Structure 1
């Protein structure tokens, strides 16, 4: 199975919205995301256009997607500015649909995110993962993220802060 990994394009807001709603409908979405299907579904088209444009161009944020041979969008990872760690990126919205897990998609998404982050001068990638989301923790650790010892408190519970330092190498995957 061939997987395409790429940054989203400005006009792809409908696909971005559909993938986000699919992710929010995942059985562990309450552990993985700070949003709900109901809230995201109620957002106007302009919200999705702006969100897509902001993650499609420039060096402040970037969303990467995994696309199957048949054109199905099934995975995503977004890098935004990290307010707590200047000079680093914060990875959010990580998702790979059931049926595509274990295919290398998450690693390829992280590789793309790391390459972009490095090109934009960032020295590390951080992410936050719910203490009960063991599946995600294992995936992040496989790619080389390590716990910092920090915990953040969200409305859905505590989250571990994890980091992956970015070197000058072309590939940072584990």
Structure 2
């Protein structure tokens, strides 16, 4: 599986298995119903719920390495996914990738677990995984108006790189790149 499960309070932090695509779908739909989803995700609930099962199966089997927080009763209460971006390629926004890096996406923690340290535990697992693959840095993009997320990312050691990512479908809004160097 390439990653060992860890624990945080009553949760196990572990990678998602391909056969868990239905749970991946449900957690994503839950995240997209969050009151700040419009700031946290480039996706919408309406688009996601309309996607066929094959989309979720492919995403879970061949997409990013996804880490979840699972409670003792089997509930999934948190998620972070990691993409490895290779030097010489372009990222999702069309920017050149200058060095091998991890890109954290899809961060979600259920309201009852926010502020508990669970997000940091998920990030620690993801960053460890990225570093184990020789990435030179880890990055993420965050909506300029998502103050809570930006505050957490700063506490986790991320700093703004100065890169601003315009949103094609929302030109008045912007995302900011934040990086964690090795």
2:80 aligns with 77
**How far does residue 10 in structure 1 lie from its aligned partner after superposition?**
1.0
| TM-score, normalised via structure 2 length | 0.85
Match of 1:90 among 75, 95, 103: 103
**Superposition pairs for residues 21-170 of structure 1, below 5 Å?**
21-55=29-63, 61-82=64-85, 83=91, 84-85=96-97, 86-154=99-167, 155-156=169-170, 157-166=173-182
Number of residue-to-residue matches in the alignment: 161
Q: Give me the whole-angstrom Cα distance separating, in 1, the residues matched to 2:101 and 2:114.
A: 27
**How far does residue 150 in structure 1 lie from its aligned partner after superposition?**
1.3
| TM-score, normalised via structure 1 length | 0.88
- Whether the 8 Å contact between 2:67 and 2:125 is mirrored in structure 1 is yes
**How far does residue 96 in structure 1 lie from its aligned partner after superposition?**
0.7
Unaligned runs of 5+ in 2: 1-8, 86-90
Summarize deviations over 1:114-172 as a string: whole Å, max 9, x none.
11101111111100000100010011111111001111111341011100013xxxxxx
Q: Matched residue of 1:11: which SS? A: helix
Q: Matched residue of 2:128: which SS? A: helix
1:7 aligns with 15
Unaligned runs of 5+ in 1: 56-60, 167-174
Higher mean alpha-carbon deviation, 84-93 vs 103-112, is at 84-93
RMSD: 1.2
**How far does residue 70 in structure 1 lie from its aligned partner after superposition?**
2.1
- Whether the 8 Å contact between 2:12 and 2:71 is mirrored in structure 1 is yes
Higher mean alpha-carbon deviation, 45-54 vs 150-159, is at 150-159
Summarize deviations over 1:55-114 as a string: whole Å, max 9, x none.
4xxxxx311111122221011111113334330011110111111101111111111111
